[in-house]
Structure 1
Amino acid sequence: MHVEHLSLSDFRSYPAAEVELGPGATTLVGDNGQGKTNVVEALGYLATLGSHRVATDAALVRAGAERAVVRGRVRRGGRTALVELEITPGRANRARVNKAPVRPREVLGLLRTVLFAPEDLAVVKGEPDQRRRFVDDLLVALQPRTAGVRADYERVVRQRSALLRSGRGLRGSAAAGVESTLEVWDAQLAQLGADLLAARLDTLEQLAPYAEAAYGAVSGVPGALTTRYRPRGLHPQVRSADAGSLPDPPRERAELRDALLAAAAAARRAELDRGTTLVGPHRDDVDLLVNAMPARGYASHGESWSAALALRLGSFDLLTETGGEDGEPVLVLDDVFAELDARRRGHLAERALRAEQVLVTAAVAEDVPPGLAGRVLRVERDLATGTSTVAAA
């Protein structure tokens, strides 16, 4: 799998850009703030319908423009697909495949990417939502249909929490009405939550051996990285300090659904008091252990980088193994070589050279290991207008 051409219109700092790509390595070089990451962010948006940098789409549209358009020609096996996304803040985005309108969610799976960026340190050292997002993004790449489950679950949590807020302080028949309605939402939360939980557990189980092997290769310490799903949403009464001793969750969907229903019943009074949903996989975490110790808080800076890199390389290997005739995902390395020591830099370059297509961004061309630079594109930004351009170096 590779992208042959990327077209941008009013995306970030680009009024318009036509970027010729192809198999092998392409490096985008330019000083910080010129717009290199904007290009690979657009590519990632085509693959995931989201940005690795911001949570909402508004920032993706160039200042003063009404909408942005990202278009990519993707080669998959012996087929080519033209994928187009129109991003309009405040309105539903629109999508086309080979110029035919489709629902945006239908483009998922047409392009698969694995992006390694400095922000990945937050997966290792940051808050639980960073690790949940990492797992959810990977499971959608593996099973695009789960994007619908994820979106429906998030909608139920928002609406259920709104109902809980409306029930705070109510008494008598009004309170009884809220609790009766909550039982309906509990059933939806439990069913969708069980589906999401089961998909996460399956994804993490598939990833674990690849990530462990990648960590051993990157760090030279085999078997040092382990992962464990921590189901806090099944045990809302357990304090954060005690969450490390939580039992493993059940694996069958019916058991997960029943466990979520029981947890919702047990947490009813606390949820009404706090006006928010305390039960469900949106409360869970993933333990990353390096040498049997939590990476968050105990891992050194080098160990944290190794863990972050191992998660992405493990994802790349897993997606490659399951890609079938579509082949490997596109590997994107966004401004990471300057952050890595010689050992990690060399290993990443060696792995990247085996990818069908790799895109690299760097402020300094010399930061990119020899042999990986491939075709070099220069990115520049006009300070007067704030607009960026891409051209062959």
Structure 2
Amino acid sequence: MHVTHLQLVDFRSYPALELTLPPGVVTFVGANGQGKTNLLEAIGYLATLGSHRVSTDAPLIREGAERAVIRSRVVRGDRAALAEIEIVTGRANRVRLNRRQLPRPRDLLGLLSVVLFAPEDLAMVKGDPTERRRFLDDLLVARTPRLAGVISDYERVLRQRTTLLRGRGDLRTLDSWDEALARHGAELLAARLGLVDELRPLVAAAYTAVAGSGDLASPTPPAPVGLDYRSSVSPPEGADREALAAAMLSQLAALRPREVERGVTLAGPHRDELMLSISGRAARGYASHGESWSLALALRLASFELLVADDREPVLLLDDVFAELDTHRRRRLAELVAPAEQVLITAAVGADVPAELGGPRFVVETGEVRSVD
């Protein structure tokens, strides 16, 4: 899978841009603030309907414009598709596939897969639990796009239930909302638990490859890493979806007096935590800066491996990551990502990108992108 063409209209710093991209490694070099990251952000938005930099769409529209357009041609095997997203101020976004409008933006999910490496990734290790839950949910949707609807339904029910708990509605209806929350929550919880089980060995192997010494073929093992999912509903070991829903209903019933008093929902996937550890200690509190970066990279590399195994080989987006890494980790990351079908890299200094990652280079300056011969 790779992107062959990118067109932007009033997206971020670009009034208009058309760019042809080859498969393989492509590097965009330019000083900070020139628009490099905007290119990767646009491709990431096309794949996920979200930005890794901001939580709302408004900043994506160029100042003074009423809408932004991202249009791209995506090739997978011998098939090509033209995708377009129109981000509109104050209205629902519009999405087209091969020039046909889709009923909902999320119907585009699954066309393009990406794995994004960015300086913000350190928050997956050092940040609060929200960052790690988002990592799991984004990967779930990348692998199984229909789960975007499950997550949306869960969040909708959660908002309504919280509104009731805060005294803005009839508390006698809580039972029906509990059942809906448990139904959607159990499906999301089951998906997360399964994903963590799949990720655990892949993250351990990737961490060894990134952080170990010696050759990648036989690295010296670094400290062991662990992934564990801590649920707020204490599900039985090996529970199926029905058992998870029952456990969540039981927990909600037990917590209801405290929930009514505090006005918040205290049990469910929105309260869960992905526990990351190194040598048995919580990475968030104890990991060094280098260990934290190695673990963040390992999470992304494991995501890539899962998507490849699903026959969804993603485009790799490396947004100014090499500047954050020492020479050892730069070389290891470069060797691990180089075989991907398409790798798009941004760098403020071209020398930061290891020699293993050759290929075409573009200079980005004041919103213009030009090829380097």
**TM-score, normalising length from structure 1?**
0.90
Q: 2:333 — aligned with what? A: 348
Q: 1:55 — aligned with what? A: 55
**Residues 61-119 of structure 1, C-alpha deviations (whole Å, 9 max, x = no match):** 11111111111100011100101111113211111110011121111111000000110
Contact 1:47 1:109 in 2 (8 A): yes
Q: 2:360 — aligned with what? A: 375
- Structure 1 residue 288 and structure 2 residue 308: aligned? no
CA deviation after TM superposition for structure 1 residue 351, in Å: 1.3
**Residues 116-165 of structure 1, C-alpha deviations (whole Å, 9 max, x = no match):** 01100000010000000000000101101100001111111111111111
Contact 1:224 1:290 in 2 (8 A): yes
Task: Give the 5 Å matches for 1:166-205.
Answer: 166=167, 178-205=170-197
Look up the SS of the partner of 2:90 in the other structure: coil
Contact 1:23 1:356 in 2 (8 A): yes
Amino acid at match of 1:68: A
Q: 1:277 — aligned with what? A: 265
Amino acid at match of 2:306: L
Q: 1:314 — aligned with what? A: 302
CA deviation after TM superposition for structure 1 residue 178, in Å: 2.5
Q: 1:390 — aligned with what? A: 369
* Distance in 2 of aligned mates of 1:209 and 1:89: 44
> Does 341-350 or 215-224 show the bigger shift?
215-224
Q: 2:142 — aligned with what? A: 141
Amino acid at match of 2:3: V
Look up the SS of the partner of 2:344 in the other structure: strand
Q: 1:131 — aligned with what? A: 132
Q: 1:43 — aligned with what? A: 43
RMSD: 1.4
Look up the SS of the partner of 2:264 in the other structure: coil
**TM-score, normalising length from structure 2?**
0.95
* Distance in 1 of aligned mates of 2:293 and 2:100: 42
Q: 1:329 — aligned with what? A: 314
Amino acid at match of 1:22: P
* Distance in 1 of aligned mates of 2:10 and 2:264: 38
Q: 1:105 — aligned with what? A: 106
* Distance in 2 of aligned mates of 1:310 and 1:297: 18
Contact 2:236 2:244 in 1 (8 A): no
Q: 2:11 — aligned with what? A: 11
- Number of aligned positions between the proteins: 363
Task: Give the 5 Å matches for 1:295-310.
Answer: 295-310=283-298
* Distance in 1 of aligned mates of 2:99 and 2:152: 26
> Does 22-31 or 247-256 show the bigger shift?
247-256
* Distance in 1 of aligned mates of 2:88 and 2:189: 32
* Distance in 2 of aligned mates of 1:254 and 1:90: 40
**Residues 279-310 of structure 1, C-alpha deviations (whole Å, 9 max, x = no match):** 21001110001111110010111100000000
Q: 1:213 — aligned with what? A: 205
* Distance in 2 of aligned mates of 1:114 and 1:262: 37
Q: 1:229 — aligned with what? A: 229
Gaps of 5+ in 1: 168-176, 236-246, 382-387
Q: 2:217 — aligned with what? A: none
Contact 1:142 1:319 in 2 (8 A): yes
Contact 1:379 1:391 in 2 (8 A): yes
* Distance in 2 of aligned mates of 1:256 and 1:14: 48
CA deviation after TM superposition for structure 1 residue 251, in Å: 3.1
CA deviation after TM superposition for structure 1 residue 352, in Å: 1.6
Contact 1:70 1:86 in 2 (8 A): yes
Gaps of 5+ in 2: 213-220
Amino acid at match of 2:191: A
* Distance in 1 of aligned mates of 2:205 and 2:371: 37
CA deviation after TM superposition for structure 1 residue 47, in Å: 0.4
* Equivalent position to 1:357, from 324, 327, 342: 342
Contact 1:213 1:223 in 2 (8 A): no
The runs of 4+ residues in structure 1 deviating greater than 2 Å are 247-251
* Distance in 1 of aligned mates of 2:302 and 2:28: 24
